[in-house]
Amino acid sequence: MSDQLAIQAQQRRSSRMQTIYRPLILAALALLVLVAGRLVSESLPSWIAVQTVLSLSMFLSVVAFGQGLVMLTGGLDLSVPGVIALSASIVAVWVSFMDGNLFVGVLLALGVSLLFGIVNGVLVSVLKAPAFIVTLAMGAVLEGFSLFITYGHKAPESPELLVTLFSGSGKLFGIGIPALLFFVVGIIGFIIQARSRFGRNAYLLGSSLEASRIAGQPVNFIQISMYAVSGFGAGLAGLMLVGFSGNAQLSLGTEWLMPSIAAVLVGGTVIGSGRGFWQATITAGLMLTSITIVIQSTGVPQGWKSVLYGVVVLVALLSTRSDFGRRRRKQISQSPLQGNPPKK
Amino acid sequence: MKRNWKVAALAVVAAGTLALSACGGSTSSTADAGAASAAATEAAAPAATAAASEAAAANGNPCGWAAAPRAGGAKYVVYMSSLNIGNAWQEEAVNLGSAEGLMAPYSDCVELRTERTEPDPASQISQIQSMTAAGADAIVTFALSPTAINATFKEACDAGVTVVIYDATVTEPCAYNVSYITAKPVGSDIPFMGYNAMAALIDMMGGAGDIFVAHGVAGTSVDNVHYLSALAAIEQLAPDMNILTEWDGNWDSAQQQKETTKALASNPNVVGIFCGYGESGCVKALKAADKTIPVTGETSQYFREQLLAGWPGVSIGSPPAQGGIAMKVALGVLQYGPDAGIPHDIEVPFKVVTKDTVKVCPDDTYTEGCNVFPAGVVGDENTADIFNPLLPEASLTSAKTGVPPAGLVAVPFTVDELKSFEQDPSRRYITREACPEGWTQGKLKEGLDGCVQS
Amino acid sequence: MNTNPGRIRQTLTDGTGRAVFFWLILMAIWLSLQSTQGMGVDLGQIQSYLVLSLPLIVAAIGVTLVIIMGQFDLSAAGVIGIVNVIIASTLSSWNPLLVVVLMMALGGFIGLVNGLFVILGKLPAIAVTLATLIILQGLAVVILPQPSGKIPPFLVDGVRVPFVALGIIVIIIIAWMLFKRSRLGLYMFALGADPEALHLSGLPVKKIQLKIFVLAGALYGLAGVFMSASLGSGDGNAADSFLLTTFAAAAIGGTAFVGGRGSAVGTLFGALTLLAIPKVLFVIGVSDWTQKVAFGLLVLLAVVAGAFSSLRKDREQLLVAPYSTPTEGELSTATKGGNA
One-character DSSP codes across A161-227: HHHHHHSS-SEETTEEHHHHHHHHHHHHHHIIIIISHHHHHHHHHHH-HHHHHHTT--HHHHHHHHH
Alpha-carbon gap, residue C29 to C279, rounded angstroms: 9
Look at residue B40 in the predicted model and tell me its pLDDT. 39
Alpha-carbon gap, residue C205 to B104, rounded angstroms: 72
Output the DSSP codes for B359-391. Answer: -B--SSB--TT--BPPTTSS-TT--STT--TT-
Euclidean distance between the first and final Cα of chain B, in Å?
A: 71
Residue at B25 is within a domain = no
Higher pLDDT, A319 or A47: A47
Alpha-carbon gap, residue C172 to B43, rounded angstroms: 46
Alpha-carbon gap, residue B100 to B110, rounded angstroms: 10
- The lowest-confidence range among A141-155, A179-193, C199-213, C290-304 is A141-155
Residue of chain B minimizing CA distance to C328: B4
Alpha-carbon gap, residue A272 to A274, rounded angstroms: 6
Whether residue A249 contacts residue A82, with contact meaning beta carbons closer than 8 Å, is answered with no
pLDDT digits (tens, 9 = 90+) for A260-316: 999 998 888 887 777 778 888 999 999 999 999 999 888 788 889 889 999 988 888
Look at residue B71 in the predicted model and tell me its pLDDT. 87
Q: What is the CATH number of the domain that holds A88?
A: 1.10.3470
Model ipTM value: 0.86
pLDDT digits (tens, 9 = 90+) for B148-185: 899 899 999 999 999 999 999 999 999 999 999 999 99
CA distance C251 to chain A (A): 7
Residues B90 and B116 in one domain: yes
Query: CB distance B380–A56 less than 8 Å?
Result: no
Q: Which residue range(s) make up the domain with A295?
A: 12-334
pLDDT digits (tens, 9 = 90+) for C82-121: 999 999 999 988 899 999 999 999 999 999 999 999 999 8
Backbone angles phi, psi at A210, to 5 degrees: -60, -45
pLDDT of residue B114 exceeding 60, the answer is: yes
Helices (H) and strands (E) in chain A, counts: 15, 2
Residue at B70 is within a domain = yes
DSSP letter, residue B214: E
- The lowest-confidence range among B4-13, C31-40, C151-160, C288-297 is B4-13
Residues 6+ apart with CB under 8 A from B83: B90, B116, B117, B118, B119, B142, B144
Residue at A306 is within a domain = yes
Residue A22 banded pLDDT, cuts 50, 70, 90: confident
C230 and B CB contact within 8 Å: yes
From the list B17, B150, B151, which residue is nearest C24 (CB)?
B17
Residue A12 banded pLDDT, cuts 50, 70, 90: low
Output the DSSP codes for B22-48. Answer: HHHHHHHSHHHHHHHHHHHHHHH----
Residues 6+ apart with CB under 8 A from C219: C58, C59, C61, C62, C65, C104, C107
CA distance B329 to chain C (A): 23
| Residue among B91, B262, B364, B382 with most chain A CBs within 10 A, to mutate | B262
Residue C35 banded pLDDT, cuts 50, 70, 90: confident
Look at residue B293 in the predicted model and tell me its pLDDT. 95
Look at residue A330 in the predicted model and tell me its pLDDT. 41
Whether residue B162 contacts residue B330, with contact meaning beta carbons closer than 8 Å, is answered with yes
CA distances from B11 to A118, B16, B208, C17 (A): 36, 9, 68, 8
Residue at B419 is within a domain = yes
Residue C9 banded pLDDT, cuts 50, 70, 90: low
Residue at A344 is within a domain = no
Q: Is A126 exposed, middle or buried (0-12, 13-18, 19+ CB in 10 A)?
A: middle
Residue A137 banded pLDDT, cuts 50, 70, 90: very high
Q: Which of residues 73-92 of B touch A (CB under 8 A)?
A: 84-88
CA distance A173 to chain C (A): 39
A328 and C CB contact within 8 Å: yes
Among C176, C28, C309, C312, smallest CA distance to B11 is for C176
Partners of C173 on chain B (C-beta within 8 Å) are: 8, 11-12, 15
| Residue among C289, C290, C298, C332 with most chain A CBs within 10 A, to mutate | C289
Per the structure, how many domains does chain B have? Answer: 3
Backbone angles phi, psi at A266, to 5 degrees: -65, -30
Q: Which of residues 393-432 of B touch A (CB under 8 A)?
A: 400-401
pLDDT of residue C339 exceeding 60, the answer is: no
pLDDT of residue B416 exceeding 50, the answer is: yes
B268 and A CB contact within 8 Å: yes
Whether residue B289 contacts residue B273, with contact meaning beta carbons closer than 8 Å, is answered with no
Alpha-carbon gap, residue A105 to A162, rounded angstroms: 12
Residue at B433 is within a domain = yes
Among C205, C210, C174, C214, smallest CA distance to C187 is for C205
CA distances from C4 to B102, B385, C1, C7, C186 (A): 59, 67, 8, 7, 25
Pairs of CB atoms within 8 A across B/C = 220
Residues B346 and B449 in one domain: no
In single-letter form, the type of residue at position A11 comes to Q
Residue A323 banded pLDDT, cuts 50, 70, 90: very low
DSSP letter, residue A18: I
Residue A183 banded pLDDT, cuts 50, 70, 90: very high
CA distances from A100 to A106, A149, A244, C329 (A): 10, 15, 20, 59
Whether residue B177 contacts residue B344, with contact meaning beta carbons closer than 8 Å, is answered with yes
Query: CB distance B219–C31 less than 8 Å?
Result: no
Pairs of CB atoms within 8 A across A/C = 212
Backbone angles phi, psi at A151, to 5 degrees: -70, 135
Residues B267 and B303 in one domain: yes
Chains that touch C (3 or more CB pairs under 8 A): A, B
Q: Is C93 exposed, middle or buried (0-12, 13-18, 19+ CB in 10 A)?
A: exposed
In this prediction, residues C333-338 reach a mean pLDDT of 31
CA distance B417 to chain C (A): 32
Residues B438 and B390 in one domain: no
pLDDT of residue B223 exceeding 70, the answer is: yes
pLDDT of residue A324 exceeding 80, the answer is: no
Name the region of C219 (left: φ>0; alpha: ψ -120 to 50; beta: rest).
alpha
Query: CB distance B254–A252 less than 8 Å?
Result: yes
In this prediction, residues B318-324 reach a mean pLDDT of 95
Look at residue C274 in the predicted model and tell me its pLDDT. 92
Residues B307 and B340 in one domain: no
Per the structure, how many domains does chain A have? Answer: 1
For chain B, the maximum distance between any two Cα atoms, rounded to a whole number of angstroms, is 81
Helix%, strand%, coil% for chain C, nearest 5 = 70, 0, 25
Residue at B225 is within a domain = yes
Q: What is the CATH number of the domain that holds B73?
A: 3.40.50.2300
Q: Which residues of C242-257 are buried (b: 16+ CB within 10 A; e: fewer)?
A: bbbbbbbbbbbbbbbb
Partners of C42 on chain B (C-beta within 8 Å) are: 22, 25-26, 133
Partners of C199 on chain A (C-beta within 8 Å) are: 329
Higher pLDDT, C9 or B55: C9
Query: CB distance B30–C287 less than 8 Å?
Result: no
Query: CB distance B266–A297 less than 8 Å?
Result: yes
Query: CB distance C40–B29 less than 8 Å?
Result: yes
pLDDT of residue A187 exceeding 80, the answer is: yes
DSSP letter, residue A17: I
Residue B14 banded pLDDT, cuts 50, 70, 90: low
Residues B143 and B85 in one domain: yes
Higher pLDDT, B43 or A77: A77
Query: CB distance C45–B133 less than 8 Å?
Result: yes
Look at residue C313 in the predicted model and tell me its pLDDT. 65
pLDDT of residue C326 exceeding 70, the answer is: no
Output the DSSP codes for B163-204. Answer: EEEESS----TTSEEEESTTPPPTT-SS--HHHHHHHHHHHH
B392 and A CB contact within 8 Å: no
Look at residue B306 in the predicted model and tell me its pLDDT. 94
Output the DSSP codes for A31-46. Answer: HHHHHHGGGT-TT-S-
In single-letter form, the type of residue at position B299 comes to T
Q: A176 has which bridge partners?
A: A171
Whether residue B449 contacts residue B441, with contact meaning beta carbons closer than 8 Å, is answered with yes
Look at residue B318 in the predicted model and tell me its pLDDT. 92
Residues B440 and B429 in one domain: yes
pLDDT of residue B214 exceeding 90, the answer is: yes
In this prediction, residues C210-221 reach a mean pLDDT of 97
Query: CB distance A169–B288 less than 8 Å?
Result: yes
Residues B165 and B234 in one domain: no
Name the region of C246 (left: φ>0; alpha: ψ -120 to 50; beta: rest).
alpha
Partners of B86 on chain A (C-beta within 8 Å) are: 85, 143, 146-147, 150, 249-251
CA distance B147 to chain A (A): 20
Residue of chain A minimizing CA distance to B278: A245
Look at residue B56 in the predicted model and tell me its pLDDT. 47
Backbone angles phi, psi at C90, to 5 degrees: -130, -25
Look at residue B352 in the predicted model and tell me its pLDDT. 92
Residue A252 banded pLDDT, cuts 50, 70, 90: confident
pLDDT digits (tens, 9 = 90+) for A61-106: 999 999 999 998 888 899 999 999 999 999 988 887 777 788 999 9
pLDDT of residue A341 exceeding 80, the answer is: no
Whether residue B94 contacts residue B80, with contact meaning beta carbons closer than 8 Å, is answered with yes
CA distance A342 to chain B (A): 20
Task: State chain A's mean pLDDT as an integer.
Answer: 82
Residue of chain C minimizing CA distance to B27: C42
Residues B170 and B198 in one domain: no
Alpha-carbon gap, residue A91 to C170, rounded angstroms: 52
Q: Which residue range(s) make up the domain with B398?
A: 48-180+320-350+385-423
Alpha-carbon gap, residue C255 to C71, rounded angstroms: 12
Query: CB distance A145–C124 less than 8 Å?
Result: no
Query: If you compute the radius of gyration of chain C from its CA atoms, what whole number of angstroms results?
Result: 20
Residue of chain A minimizing CA distance to C191: A333
Residues 6+ apart with CB under 8 A from B210: B241, B242, B243, B244, B267, B269, B270, B271, B272
Look at residue C92 in the predicted model and tell me its pLDDT. 85
Q: Is A1 exposed, middle or buried (0-12, 13-18, 19+ CB in 10 A)?
A: exposed
By DSSP bridging, strand B352-354 and strand B313-316 are antiparallel
| Residue among A33, A86, A244 with most chain B CBs within 10 A, to mutate | A244
Among C92, C105, C86, C53, smallest CA distance to C246 is for C53
Residues B113 and B261 in one domain: no
Residue A162 banded pLDDT, cuts 50, 70, 90: confident
CA distance B269 to chain A (A): 8
Whether residue A123 contacts residue A132, with contact meaning beta carbons closer than 8 Å, is answered with no
| Residue among C86, C117, C122, C212 with most chain A CBs within 10 A, to mutate | C122
- The lowest-confidence range among A127-131, B105-109, C123-127 is A127-131
Question: What is this structure's pTM?
Answer: 0.87
Look at residue A192 in the predicted model and tell me its pLDDT. 87
Residues 6+ apart with CB under 8 A from C328: B4, C180, C189, C261, C262, C263
B253 and A CB contact within 8 Å: yes
Residues 6+ apart with CB under 8 A from B90: B82, B83, B142
Residue A3 banded pLDDT, cuts 50, 70, 90: low
Q: C188 has which bridge partners?
A: none
Ranges A207-221, A324-338, B343-357, most confident: B343-357
Residue at B7 is within a domain = no
Task: State chain C's mean pLDDT as an integer.
Answer: 85
Residue of chain C minimizing CA distance to A323: C122
Query: If you compute the radius of gyration of chain B from its CA atoms, what whole number of angstroms results?
Result: 24
Q: Return the percentage of chain C with pLDDT > 70, whole number.
A: 87
Query: CB distance A250–B87 less than 8 Å?
Result: yes
By DSSP bridging, strand A175-176 and strand B76-83 are unpaired
Q: Return the percentage of chain B with pLDDT > 90, whole number.
A: 59
DSSP letter, residue A120: H
Look at residue C88 in the predicted model and tell me its pLDDT. 93
Residue at B34 is within a domain = no
Residues B430 and B418 in one domain: no
Residue at B441 is within a domain = yes
Look at residue B285 in the predicted model and tell me its pLDDT. 93
Residue at A339 is within a domain = no
Q: Is C297 exposed, middle or buried (0-12, 13-18, 19+ CB in 10 A)?
A: middle
pLDDT of residue B218 exceeding 50, the answer is: yes
Among B231, B224, B247, B240, smallest CA distance to B199 is for B231
Query: Does residue C5 have a cis bond before it (omega within 30 degrees)?
Result: no
Task: State chain B's mean pLDDT as an integer.
Answer: 85
